[in-house]
Structure 1
């Protein structure tokens, strides 16, 4: 008679997921504590069990529910993927601005006015303003924009 095995989905501390089979949960715990397990992607030995759906008999209602949950998860993954792309684009925009424009800091509103009225050379600038300063610039017809200034963590 063949021994029964337990199937686990595992995750390392870098969020890589993989699967493995064990004789029982005690064997898994022992292997994890002793560092015998390692991630096939990064080699980390900091391994834990990842959540798994239990095996169940499905009815048509369950299949429909699972399909909807999978669609929802897929939509969430798409949103997260789009957010990551947008973040990288904003970081790229910040780099371009920093490379091609002058940082005038808190003098932004004054410098924008000088450029607009011809009292200073026309050039790209960036810096800080208060909401009131931005409103005053807008009232004078001076177009300025605000972008999220994301840190470049790379």
Structure 2
């Protein structure tokens, strides 16, 4: 495994791990890489320095103003970029304003859509086939950009 410092055409800096240097080259040539912040497909290797001392602290991605932020200055539970911050706010809103019905999501969503149960905000898990059937039946559903069962720090 190899870790590269990367930079997108919009100037966002981030890091990613690859199986090898050749794997990075293959993914880049096929257009399969994207910026971790904005999704830009034009990504290239950024200036990197080797890790030479066990005492030197690793650096987190640069702040929005390109000022390096040392990892020990930012708790791991703090989102590293605006996209992570927005996702954290979305997750907090959904978890605060809806009920997690777990694996019972498909049944409950279908009952509310049919009028057999009171309509209210819910979230949970559905198998891909269940989600497809709900969509075909016209039940308004949307995938969440996070797994509600996994606790964030």
TM-score bin, normalised by smaller chain: 0.3 to 0.5
Structure exhibiting the larger radius of gyration computed from Cα positions: 1
